[in-house]
């Protein structure tokens, strides 16, 4: 037994020594492409290898796998140098740092700027585009000779065609593809994500449930009510109906152009019609080359792209295998296909299909909404309100109007809360004083050291601490003296909570008399209340003439926090009368109850 | 336990074989397998995947122990299957179970080391850093040199050995023994000069792209002692937070991506809290179980009926049986697409035919009830040939003598079926029926391919759920669509939860049907 | 318990059943049976008919397909999809078929061999924790492996770095996964059948001094041919129609299996090669049906014939 074991160990060791490390010989440059494009690249790479003496190969991988396996194969050292994919993969790739910027150098001028935009994030270009694509409006020219200008016209034409029996259906739309709904929705004023000043998408601003989106839903609902649009239509079915002359109008992209041509239907391509909110804005998508961050051959990869691929011949080879409008301008010039030109024109008002990762949360809910309308299950308003709510929940939108913004911490008892660290206590809920800012004031906190945080919605689910970090550390708060007027403010843009000593000033029709340039001016220093050191603030005057006055208290020289009658934030003005000129009037503001008391002598 | 005595008797009865040849052969095989496995495990360990290496070593140890310990001889028969199952079923299972306790997701895809290494490769141009256009040179010894021209038009020649000399004029064809590389020669050299620093200490130049070289520097520097990353472009220090798997700056912002860390039971907590807040989850569970049970039983019933109908030796029946196999032989992807087309309300042959005959057709894809019905129908179509195939084999194992005896007793065919055929077939196929129920419990393919989980359920919170979504397709929606990140940790945790549900159901089924006991006592 | 004893004793002797004279009820029964068979076949074959029609249909998508191909002017057009499969230089069809048969044949043979060894052990030997082990392998298979693809891909990737013949783009790795993937189910299926083989057969052989190996190969193996054939056929079919795994692991067009190649025709969301895909899929079914016809005699005649000899 022992002998056998030692024999085995020896044998194993011998095998280990004799077995050479059989590393697969890796090409100098490895590409991943799907089966549509790989054949074209195979030929191009053979050419490249021959011209430059560099061994370049393409592996055929499914689209989904290219997207997901780059981050698996890459760290293991087995990934590609270049992947070919759609621009909307950028979000996921960048989240994982899986691709690197590309410097097109002087070649950049040869690309259509809008195509480069698609692959640009934060000012950096992350892909070399070779094609762009968008939906265009198709019509059967026998049935619809003129391109409709507006969506209302489309409905009128549909009505006429169906009622006259000229065609069983007018315009058809895929019943679950939200991508196809975007042109309509945008023409009525709906949008998926709002845009920042630099043109990038803001995932916190979602417009799937706004009035425009609902109006677009109601537009579709007209067709549903009249029976012009039925459930269970997908892209394939829509093109088939169009090809069989069962439908007169539809929208589709360059990918189905060949099918439409083969059907023999006389057709024309135009821009999607406009709506009450302006032109339709179809999504523009891009296809391009991206360089893996795990690649050891990034320089060669860049050189391959800028020197070899960014040429008219190579770009036309890509076009021929996958006919979509090229992004490379010299190649565009070399293409005679008028339909491709029409597609590009139809995309003139288009907007980039969002490539931020949050878009993944949108498709399902958004598409379902359309399906609910077409199935007749929900009204457009119900459908899109629900979709909006779902997307908001999925993305975790912060200004999804938190139901409450609560100050929590060791100070809560001073606000009359039953306990500290109680996010559900309404006494410490902050009040909005702007679109994204919330505030709260008190003078009730005695001197000492405290800790505070912010909790939204009355729960701990969304809470913010130091530096606005979600779930971050507690924020220390030192109160120097009793009766300090503290102003807590919180901004939902950066989730930062600050606490500072505040000032209180009298505002109202008394200000001019107190030496201010005018009335109702919170920034005026002359009407500032002086601290009494016990949490109350006061001002006495004899400068008022007889008459009726109205006042409030404003904190920190602005309207952000102001208190009216009974200490109500943003409450009614406090009215009082001065019986005679020069009567002594005392104003006392209690920083704990926020009540302003006016004592008029006599 | 009654079997204990039998066990002893049996192992006594079967003496371990002591043929010398077979022993030698076994030793040799074991040697080969162990040597091979050790080589593999060692290298994979070196690669940093300790987890997989350990699994390999444990598998090897198991095989070795089974082979070398005489008392374990019955396991020798099982060891090839066991080894394969450990690698291909148990390892993915452990992997999933392990990931369930981490925050492995987009943005947290790498280990800390991998994340730091990946960030360390990023370069930036410090303020005032020089950039140059470059031309590549190589001398006879194979050393490289760069001819650099900056924006002001000044030229330099730099080598990796520290040379940085001012030169003048356009890049020449040759410079001090260095020849200009162009075209293919330049391309072939690119992999060698990637990441190489040219020039002297004050003028360190790296190549950034085909047109630009410059004083680029490493942007992200990791300080192991402080466990922090510094972004040298901004000077901001990002401290590693080892509970959330992120590098965070004092202002709360985070480095471009984080790393994965263990998060304990967090994923399970999220499942429980979201399960409690989700109304449709109950519906999803009911449909999952309903589909699994009804789908499997109906497929089994029709398959068995087909096997009985086509049972016999005539050529006709043989051919018909072969024809019945065709639905099973045609790849499932094709058939499911065909069914989808046939059921489509606008172009499908089934709704269109019904429309023309009855003036009404079921809305298969837009009505919840009809959608479920359609799925069950397609599932029967898929599974019946499978059950027919194994059922006809099982029918053959029932001797005709049993039937004869029954006929002598005057039992009708109906009685024969219930008293003889079904119980006997169930003995052989019972576990498979249970396996089928389990498989259908996790049947993602059919749900996704036929209606994509639809029609959607109205009035739910996120994520959107459809009437024909089952637990697995719901899992995918929950874990891979929320917040735009693919959350593998959450998906794995859901997998583990489903496993417990299914595992308990399986054990219950074995108890209830008593198949388990029957089968084991049968022997 | 009683039923199984019946099998054991009954299986020992095979008796030819005498034919009965047909009575009226028998004729009715027969007619009903034929009617049922017709209905069954109609249900089973209607979608297949659709696939057949698609394979002769020049239209590129499922939606535009009609049951009777339209606009066919010539034989060439009728067989257009098939010609494309056979003649397109981008489609090394016969190579794919060869690859598929190699992978499916090899892995189903291995499955039968490995699983039957285990099933025999579970059925015949008594050892500690036998039941637990049997149940465990069942439960392992029950685990919904949401990450299996990632785990397996990573595993093959890493093994392949050192052992190329088990790595990516190799059949070794793919076959290993096919063999191991369905192991538990196959063991269960086989064990169920092994249990119906009477134990007295091997007990008497044991008394004669035969080793388990001898008993297995000489006595049991011939007796369980039906289930071996069934399992082999199931494994063969499953392997042949898989594309999910093969597509991830095989990256060179020349190395693809038939299903991976065919899938590339419909992979794109907007591809219009439905007819070619259908034609290829039908051809995929041919080896399975042929294999079944060949294996039927084992499936149908196995147990009793063997039992007489035993």
Q: How confident is the model over A560-591, as pLDDT tens digits?
A: 889 998 888 888 999 999 988 888 899 999 98
β-pair partners for B155: B149, B167
Q: Give the separation between CA B136 and CA B207, rounded to whole angstroms.
A: 10
Give the minimum alpha-carbon distance from C79 to chain A in angstroms, rounded to a whole number: 18
pLDDT digits (tens, 9 = 90+) for A520-569: 988 888 889 988 888 899 998 888 888 899 999 999 888 888 999 888 88
Q: Give the separation between CA B277 and CA B262, rounded to whole angstroms.
A: 25
pLDDT attached to residue B194? 86
Q: Show the tokens assigned to A435.
A: 């679109």
Among A298-307, A351-360, A368-377, C12-21, name the one with the lowest average pLDDT: C12-21
In a domain, C122, yes or no: yes
The counts of H helices and E strands in chain C are 16, 0
**DSSP state for residue A31 in the 8-state scheme:** E
Q: Computed from CA positions of residues B95, B99, B100, B101, in that sequence, does the dihedral angle turn out positive or negative? A: positive
Q: Give the separation between CA A385 and CA A379, rounded to whole angstroms.
A: 10
pLDDT greater than 60 at residue A337:
yes
3-state class (DSSP) for residue A427: helix
Q: What percent of chain A shows pLDDT beyond 90?
A: 46
State the average pLDDT over residues B143-169: 89
Q: Chains with 3 or more CB pairs closer than 8 angstroms to B?
A: A, C
In a domain, C52, yes or no: no
Best residue in C146, C193, C220, C269 to probe B by mutation, most B CBs within 10 Å? C146
Q: Indicate the number of domains in chain C.
A: 1
**DSSP state for residue B419 in the 8-state scheme:** I
Higher pLDDT, B281 or A153: A153
pLDDT attached to residue C116? 92
pLDDT digits (tens, 9 = 90+) for C127-184: 888 888 888 888 888 787 667 778 888 888 888 888 888 888 888 889 988 998 888 8
Q: Give the separation between CA C31 and CA B134, rounded to whole angstroms.
A: 89
In a domain, C295, yes or no: yes
Q: Are A222 and A275 spatial neighbours (Cβ–Cβ below 8 Å)? A: no
Largest CA distance in chain A: 119
Q: Chains with 3 or more CB pairs closer than 8 angstroms to C?
A: A, B
Q: Are C289 and C128 spatial neighbours (Cβ–Cβ below 8 Å)? A: no
Q: Are A95 and A360 spatial neighbours (Cβ–Cβ below 8 Å)? A: no
pLDDT digits (tens, 9 = 90+) for B221-261: 999 999 999 999 888 899 998 888 989 887 667 888 999 99
Q: Are C262 and C180 spatial neighbours (Cβ–Cβ below 8 Å)? A: no
Higher pLDDT, B517 or C31: C31
Instruction: Indicate the pLDDT class of residue B4, thresholds 50, 70 and 90.
Output: very low
Q: If you measure CA to CA, which chain C residue comes closest to A21?
A: C162
3-state class (DSSP) for residue A148: coil
Q: Show the tokens assigned to C211.
A: 């080793």
Q: Give the separation between CA C185 and CA C190, rounded to whole angstroms.
A: 9
- Nearest Cα residue to B278 out of B485, B483, B469, B451: B469
Residue A136: CA count within 13 A, CB half-sphere: 28
Give the minimum alpha-carbon distance from C94 to chain B in angstroms, rounded to a whole number: 18
pLDDT greater than 50 at residue A21:
no
Name B517's Cβ contacts closer than 8 Å, sequence gap at least 6: none
State the average pLDDT over residues A252-276: 91
Cα–chain center distance at C40? 22
Q: What percent of chain B shows pLDDT beyond 90?
A: 21
Q: Are A96 and A71 spatial neighbours (Cβ–Cβ below 8 Å)? A: yes
Residues of B in contact with A230 (CB under 8 A): 345-346
pLDDT attached to residue C21? 57
Contact C147 B495 (CB under 8 A): yes
In a domain, C251, yes or no: yes
State the average pLDDT over residues A252-277: 91
Q: Are B435 and C138 spatial neighbours (Cβ–Cβ below 8 Å)? A: yes
Q: Which residue has the tokens 């000399």?
A: B165
pLDDT attached to residue B1? 36
Domains of chain A by residue range: 29-133+285-352, 136-281+362-395, 405-501, 504-600
Q: Give the separation between CA B522 and CA B511, rounded to whole angstroms.
A: 16
pLDDT attached to residue B184? 85
User: Is the Cβ of C162 closer than 8 Å to some Cβ of chain A?
Assistant: yes
Q: Which is it for strands A283-292 and A351-352: parallel, antiparallel or unpaired?
A: parallel
pLDDT attached to residue B235? 87
Domains detected in chain B: 18-99 (no CATH), 123-218 (2.40.430), 274-522 (1.10.3720.10)
> Does A356 sit behind a cis peptide bond, omega within 30 degrees of 0 on the bond before it?
no
pLDDT attached to residue B127? 84
pLDDT greater than 80 at residue C302:
no
* Segments of A42-127 assigned E as strands: 56-60, 82-86, 99-100, 120-121, 124-125
CB–CB contacts below 8 A, A to B? 217
Instruction: Indicate the pLDDT class of residue B277, thresholds 50, 70 and 90.
Output: low
Give the minimum alpha-carbon distance from B200 to chain A in angstroms, rounded to a whole number: 22
Best residue in A34, A134, A236, A260 to probe C by mutation, most C CBs within 10 Å? A236
Helices C225-241 and C93-124 meet at what angle, rounded to 10? Answer: 140
pLDDT attached to residue B172? 87
Topology of domain A405-501, per CATH? Immunoglobulin-like (2.60.40)
Higher pLDDT, A165 or C131: A165
3-state secondary structure C148-185: HHHHHHHHHHHHHHHCHHHCCCCHHHHHHHHHHHCHHH
Higher pLDDT, B24 or B60: B60
Q: Are A578 and A546 spatial neighbours (Cβ–Cβ below 8 Å)? A: yes
Q: Are B328 and C291 spatial neighbours (Cβ–Cβ below 8 Å)? A: no
Q: Do domains A29-133+285-352 and A405-501 have the same CATH topology?
A: no
**Span between the terminal Cα atoms of chain C, in Å:** 23
pLDDT greater than 90 at residue A397:
no
Instruction: Indicate the pLDDT class of residue A15, thresholds 50, 70 and 90.
Output: very low
Q: Show the tokens assigned to A240.
A: 């088939």
CATH code of residue C247: 1.10.3720.10
pLDDT greater than 80 at residue B462:
no
Q: Are B331 and C284 spatial neighbours (Cβ–Cβ below 8 Å)? A: yes
Q: What percent of chain C shows pLDDT beyond 90?
A: 18
Class of domain A29-133+285-352: alpha beta
Q: What percent of chain C shows pLDDT beyond 70?
A: 87
Q: Are B401 and C10 spatial neighbours (Cβ–Cβ below 8 Å)? A: yes
Helices B368-396 and C274-309 meet at what angle, rounded to 10? Answer: 30
Class of domain A504-600: mainly beta
pLDDT greater than 80 at residue C1:
no
Contact C184 B399 (CB under 8 A): no
Contact A62 C267 (CB under 8 A): yes
Q: Which residues of C, range 257-276, sit inside 8 Å of A by Cβ?
A: 264, 267-272
Q: Are A36 and A321 spatial neighbours (Cβ–Cβ below 8 Å)? A: yes
Q: Which is it for strands A128-133 and A431-432: parallel, antiparallel or unpaired?
A: unpaired
**Phi–psi pair at B279, nearest 5 degrees:** -65, -50
- Run of H or E residues at C204: helix C199-207
Q: Are A305 and B133 spatial neighbours (Cβ–Cβ below 8 Å)? A: no
Residues of B in contact with A293 (CB under 8 A): 118, 121
Q: What is the CATH number of domain A136-281+362-395?
A: 3.40.190.10
pLDDT attached to residue A25? 67
pLDDT attached to residue B17? 47
In a domain, C63, yes or no: no
pLDDT greater than 70 at residue A493:
yes
3-state class (DSSP) for residue A119: coil
Q: Are A405 and A399 spatial neighbours (Cβ–Cβ below 8 Å)? A: no
pLDDT digits (tens, 9 = 90+) for C209-266: 888 888 888 888 888 888 888 889 989 998 998 888 898 888 888 889 999 988 888 8
Residue C284: CA count within 13 A, CB half-sphere: 37
State the average pLDDT over residues C103-107: 93
pLDDT digits (tens, 9 = 90+) for A280-324: 999 999 999 999 999 999 999 999 999 999 999 999 999 988 888
Q: Which is it for strands A120-121 and A124-125: parallel, antiparallel or unpaired?
A: antiparallel
In a domain, C57, yes or no: no
Q: Computed from CA positions of residues B483, B489, B491, B496, in that sequence, does the dihedral angle turn out positive or negative? A: negative
Give the minimum alpha-carbon distance from B475 to chain C in angstroms, rounded to a whole number: 9
The domain of C146 spans: 91-309
Q: Are C223 and C199 spatial neighbours (Cβ–Cβ below 8 Å)? A: no
Q: Show the tokens assigned to B341.
A: 């087309």
pLDDT attached to residue B2? 38
Residue B210: CA count within 13 A, CB half-sphere: 22
Contact C160 A24 (CB under 8 A): yes
Q: Give the separation between CA B273 and CA B288, rounded to whole angstroms.
A: 21
Helices C130-142 and B515-522 meet at what angle, rounded to 10? Answer: 140
Q: Show the tokens assigned to A30.
A: 């490895």
Give the minimum alpha-carbon distance from B309 to chain C in angstroms, rounded to a whole number: 7
Name B351's Cβ contacts closer than 8 Å, sequence gap at least 6: B343, B344, B345, B361, B362, B364
pLDDT attached to residue C13? 39
pLDDT greater than 80 at residue B513:
no
pLDDT digits (tens, 9 = 90+) for C186-221: 898 888 778 777 788 888 888 888 888 888 888 888
Hey, how many other C-beta atoms are within 10 angstroms of the C-beta on A225?
11
In a domain, C50, yes or no: no
Q: Chain-wide mean pLDDT for chain B? A: 84
Q: Chains with 3 or more CB pairs closer than 8 angstroms to A?
A: B, C
State the DSSP string of C219-232.
Answer: IIHHHTHHHHHHHH
Range C218-232 burial, b when 16+ CB lie within 10 A, else e? ebbebbbbbbbbbbb
């Amino acid at each position: 037994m022992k002998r056998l074991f030692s024999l085995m160990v020896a044998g194993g060791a011998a095998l280990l020594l004799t077995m050479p490390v059989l590393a697969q010989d890796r090409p100098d440059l490895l590409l991943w492409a799907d089966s549509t494009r790989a054949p074209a690249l195979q030929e191009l790479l053979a050419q490249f290898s021959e011209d430059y003496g560099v061994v370049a190969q393409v592996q055929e991988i499914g689209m989904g796998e290219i997207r997901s396996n780059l981050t698996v194969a890459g760290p293991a050292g087995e990934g590609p140098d270049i992947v070919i994919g759609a621009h909307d993969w950028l979000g996921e790739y960048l989240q994982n740092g899986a691709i690197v910027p590309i410097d097109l150098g002087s070649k950049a001028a040869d690309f259509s700027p809008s195509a480069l935009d698609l692959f640009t994030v934060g000012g950096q270009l992350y892909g070399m585009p070779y094609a762009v694509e968008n939906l265009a409006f198709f019509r059967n020219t026998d049935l619809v000779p003129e391109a409709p200008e507006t969506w209302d016209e489309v409905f009128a034409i549909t009505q006429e065609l169906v009622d006259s029996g000229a065609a069983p259906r007018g315009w058809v739309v895929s019943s679950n593809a939200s991508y196809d709904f975007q042109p309509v929705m945008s023409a009525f004023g709906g949008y998926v994500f709002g845009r920042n000043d630099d043109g990038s998408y803001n995932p916190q601003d979602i417009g799937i449930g706004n009035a425009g989106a609902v109006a677009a839903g109601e537009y579709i609902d007209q067709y549903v009510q009249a029976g012009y649009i039925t459930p269970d239509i997908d892209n394939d079915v829509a093109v088939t109906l169009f090809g069989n002359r069962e439908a007169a109008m539809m929208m589709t992209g360059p990918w189905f152009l060949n099918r439409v041509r083969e059907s023999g239907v006389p057709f024309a391509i135009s821009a999607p019609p406009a709506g009450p909110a302006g032109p339709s804005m179809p999504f523009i998508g891009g296809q391009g080359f991206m360089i893996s961050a795990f690649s050891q051959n990034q320089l060669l990869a860049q050189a391959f792209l800028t020197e070899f691929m960014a040429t008219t011949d190579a770009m036309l080879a890509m076009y021929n295998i996958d006919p979509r409008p090229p992004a490379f301008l010299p190649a565009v010039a070399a293409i005679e296909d008028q339909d491709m030109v029409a597609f590009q024109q139809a995309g003139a008002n288009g907007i980039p299909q969002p490539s931020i990762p949050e878009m993944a949360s949108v498709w399902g809910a958004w598409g379902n909404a359309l399906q609910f309308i077409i199935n007749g299950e929900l009204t457009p308003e119900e459908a899109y309100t629900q979709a909006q709510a779902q997307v908001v929940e999925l993305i975790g939108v912060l200004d999804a109007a938190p139901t409450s913004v609560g100050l929590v911490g060791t100070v809560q008892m001073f606000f009359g809360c039953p306990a500290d660290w109680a996010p559900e206590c309404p006494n410490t809920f902050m009040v909005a004083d702007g679109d994204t800012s919330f505030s709260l004031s008190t003078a009730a906190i005695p001197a000492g050291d405290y800790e505070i945080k912010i909790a939204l919605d009355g729960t701990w689910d969304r809470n913010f601490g130091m530096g606005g970090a979600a779930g971050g550390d507690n924020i220390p708060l030192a109160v120097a003296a009793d009766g300090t007027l503290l102003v807590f403010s919180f901004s939902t843009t950066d989730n930062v909570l600050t606490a500072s000593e505040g000032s209180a000033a009298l505002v109202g029709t008394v200000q001019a008399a107190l030496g201010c340039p005018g009335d109702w001016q919170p920034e005026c220093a002359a009407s500032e209340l002086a601290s009494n050191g016990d949490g109350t603030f006061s001002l006495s005057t004899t400068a008022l003439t007889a008459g009726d006055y109205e006042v409030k208290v404003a904190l920190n020289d602005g309207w952000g926090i102001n208190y009216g009658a009974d200490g109500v934030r943003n409450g009614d003005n406090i009215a009082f009368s001065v019986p005679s000129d020069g009567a002594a009037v005392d104003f006392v503001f209690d920083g704990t109850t926020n009540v302003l008391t006016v004592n008029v002598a006599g | 336990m009654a079997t204990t005595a039998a066990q002893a008797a049996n192992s006594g009865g079967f003496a371990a074989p002591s043929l010398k040849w077979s022993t030698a052969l076994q030793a040799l095989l074991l040697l080969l397998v162990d040597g091979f496995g050790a080589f593999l495990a060692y290298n994979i360990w070196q690669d940093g995947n300790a987890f997989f290496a350990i699994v390999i070593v444990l598998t090897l140890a198991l095989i070795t122990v089974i082979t070398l310990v005489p008392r374990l001889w019955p396991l020798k028969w099982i060891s090839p299957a066991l080894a394969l199952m450990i690698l291909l079923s148990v390892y993915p299972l452990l992997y999933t179970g392990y990931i369930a306790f981490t925050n492995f997701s987009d943005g947290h895809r790498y280990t800390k080391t991998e994340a730091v290494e990946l960030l360390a490769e990023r370069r930036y141009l410090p303020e005032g850093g020089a950039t140059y256009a470059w031309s590549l040179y190589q001398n006879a010894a194979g050393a490289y040199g760069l001819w650099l021209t900056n924006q002001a038009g000044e030229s330099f020649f730099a080598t990796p050995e520290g040379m940085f000399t001012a030169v003048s004029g356009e890049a020449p064809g040759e410079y001090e023994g260095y020849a200009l590389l162009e075209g293919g020669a330049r391309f072939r050299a690119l992999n060698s000069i990637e990441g190489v620093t040219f020039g002297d200490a004050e003028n360190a130049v790296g190549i950034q792209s085909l047109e630009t070289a410059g004083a680029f520097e490493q942007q992200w520097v990791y300080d192991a002692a402080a466990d922090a990353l510094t972004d040298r472009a901004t000077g901001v220090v990002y401290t590693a937070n080892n509970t959330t798997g992120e590098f965070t700056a004092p202002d709360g912002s985070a480095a471009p991506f984080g790393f994965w860390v263990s998060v304990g039971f967090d994923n399970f907590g999220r499942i429980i809290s979201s399960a409690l807040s989700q109304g449709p989850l109950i519906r999803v569970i009911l449909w999952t179980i309903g589909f699994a049970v009804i789908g499997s039983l109906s497929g089994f019933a029709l398959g068995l009926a087909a096997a009985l109908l086509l049972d016999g030796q005539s050529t006709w029946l043989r051919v018909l049986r072969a024809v019945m196999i065709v639905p099973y032989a045609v790849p499932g992807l094709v058939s499911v697409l065909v069914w989808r087309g046939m059921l489509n309300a606008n172009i499908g042959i089934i709704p269109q035919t019904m429309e023309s005959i009855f003036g009404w057709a079921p809305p298969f894809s837009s009505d919840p009830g009809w959608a479920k019905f359609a799925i069950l129908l397609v599932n029967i179509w898929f599974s019946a040939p499978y059950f027919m195939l194994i059922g006809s084999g099982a029918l053959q194992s029932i001797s005709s003598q049993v039937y004869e005896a029954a006929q002598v007793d005057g039992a009708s065919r109906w009685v024969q079926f219930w008293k003889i055929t079904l119980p006997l077939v169930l003995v052989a196929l019972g576990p498979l029926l249970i396996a089928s129920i389990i498989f259908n419990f996790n049947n993602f393919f059919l749900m996704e391919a036929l209606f994509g989980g639809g029609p959607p359920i109205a009035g739910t919170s996120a994520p959107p759920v459809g009437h024909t979504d089952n637990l697995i397709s719901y899992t995918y929606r929950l874990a891979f669509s929320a917040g735009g990140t693919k959350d593998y940790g959450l998906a794995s945790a859901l997998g583990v939860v489903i496993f417990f549900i299914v595992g308990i159901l399986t054990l219950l089924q074995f108890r209830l049907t008593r198949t388990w006991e029957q089968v084991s006592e049968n022997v | 318990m009683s039923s199984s004893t019946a099998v054991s004793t009954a299986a020992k002797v095979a008796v030819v059943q005498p034919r009965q004279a047909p009575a009226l009820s028998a004729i009715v029964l027969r007619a009903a049976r034929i009617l049922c068979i017709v209905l069954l076949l109609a249900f089973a074959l209607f979608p297949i008919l659709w696939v057949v029609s698609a394979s002769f249909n020049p239209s590129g998508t499922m939606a535009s397909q009609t049951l009777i191909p339209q606009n066919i002017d010539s034989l060439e057009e009728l067989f257009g999809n098939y010609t494309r499969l056979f003649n397109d230089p981008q489609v090394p069809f016969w190579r794919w078929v060869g690859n598929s048969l190699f992978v499916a044949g090899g892995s189903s043979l291995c499955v039968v061999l490995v699983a039957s060894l285990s099933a025999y052990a579970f059925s015949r030997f008594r050892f500690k924790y036998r039941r637990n082990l049997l149940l465990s392998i069942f439960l392992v298979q029950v685990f919904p492996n949401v990450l299996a693809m990632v785990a397996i891909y990573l595993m093959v990737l890493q093994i392949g770095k050192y052992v190329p013949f088990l790595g990516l783009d190799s059949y070794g790795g793919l076959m290993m996964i096919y063999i191991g993937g369905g192991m538990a189910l196959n063991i269960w299926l086989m064990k169920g059948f092994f249990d119906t083989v009477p134990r007295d057969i091997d007990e008497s052989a044991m008394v004669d001094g035969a080793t388990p190996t001898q008993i297995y190969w000489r006595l049991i193996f011939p007796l369980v041919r039906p289930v071996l054939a069934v399992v082999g056929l199931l494994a063969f079919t499953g392997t042949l129609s898989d594309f999910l795994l093969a597509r991830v692991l095989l990256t060179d067009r020349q190395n693809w299996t038939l299903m991976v190649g065919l899938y590339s025709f419909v992979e794109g969301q907007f591809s219009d090669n439905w007819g070619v895909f259908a034609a290829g899929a039908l051809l995929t079914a041919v080896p399975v049906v042929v294999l079944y016809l060949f294996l039927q005699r084992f499936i149908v005649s196995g147990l009793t014939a063997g039992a007489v000899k035993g």
